[in-house]
Amino acid sequence: MPAAPSTVRRDPLDPRHLGAEQVERYLRRHGLAATKRFSQNHLVDGEVLDAIVESAAPLGRSILEIGPGIGILTGALLAGGARQVIAVEVDRRLVAHLRERFEHEGRLRLIEGDVLDLDPGTLVDPPFDLVANVPYHITSPVLHQALGEEPRPERFVLMLQREVAERVAAPVGAMSYLSVFVQYHATVRIERIVPAAAFEPAPEVDSAIVHGEVRRRRLDADREAGLWRLVQAGFRERRKMLHNVLVRQLPAVGRERFEAAFTAVGIASDRRPQMLSVEEWLALADELGPLP
């Protein structure tokens, strides 16, 4: 069924004319100075906004948005034909403002609270997508909640700190625990590097738009827990040879069992954890079986 036509009034933050001066004026008019406590940085670049919406392709989709701020991305997603947008905002001032700004928009559901304290199952019914300019200080826990808990989005488009985005999408040879975790759950790519000047106030670092297509779960809960225990142990000493690291970090498994598993899956004993692909971690975990 086609999405209902938008009933949003003429947008005072028109993306076609979006800019720092326009957003600053809007914030002053409404007494909404950005709050450092919540890592609030408002997008002021219309081209970047268009890139997010194009990647999200919201037409007819249900969207979960984290940290809508003053509603710049929210309005663009609704204008793009989203079936519904569920926006979770922790700042009470902004919640009140968004309710007023979008009072005639029936496709927007606003939830006040910290998304990390809320049960994902109460926020949105699947299928849905996750689209957000993620506050930098909660990036890692948001990714773990979104991908590790049910219900999970079908895809996500996230604005992340550039350094974190590059870790999330890292190739074999530069992997980290976060890389393995995210790439186990999704195929990811960096869509665009976004300069700090695209925000008001400007953060100290550049950002990046990351697009992910979420995979079906490949392991049951117990086997997933074993995989993450193994990966976490391996990355505790990421510059050391993985075989030796695992023997030290998981002594109850035993050197002989690790040696046999490495040989069985064809992983050389001198490989370092950042050199393993997600598939190799899966093969190693499968060969080792339940860990003591």
Q: What is the CATH number of the domain that holds 260?
A: 1.10.8.100
pLDDT attached to residue 12: 63
Of 214, 241, 257, at which residue does a domain stop? 214
Q: 21 with 142, same domain?
A: yes
Buried b (16+ CB within 10 A) or exposed e, 215-238: eeeeeeeeebebbbebbebbbebe
Is the domain of 126 the same as that of 227?
A: no
Give the per-residue pLDDT at 173: 97
Residue 75 has pLDDT above 50, yes or no: yes
Q: Is residue 199 within a helix (H) or strand (E), and if so which, with residue range?
A: strand 199-200
What pLDDT, in 10s, does the model give residues 19-35? 777 877 887 888 776 66
What pLDDT does 7 receive? Answer: 46
Q: Single out the residue in 179, 195, 214 at which a domain terminates.
A: 214
Question: 182-186, 236-240, 253-257: lowest mean pLDDT where?
Answer: 236-240
pLDDT tens readout for residues 7-63: 444 556 765 667 777 877 887 888 776 665 556 788 999 999 999 999 999 999 999
Q: Which domain holds residue 109?
A: 15-214
Instruction: Give CA angle at 44 (41, 45), nearest 5°.
Output: 130
Of the three residues 167, 185, 214, the one that is the final residue of a domain is 214
Is 7 a domain residue?
no
Q: Quick count: other Cβ atoms within 10 Å of Cβ 288?
A: 21
Cα distance between the two ends of the chain: 52
Q: Quick one: pLDDT at residue 41? A: 86
Q: What is the pTM of this model?
A: 0.90
Whether 54 and 122 share a structural domain = yes
Same domain, 205 and 227: no
Residue 4 lies in a domain: no
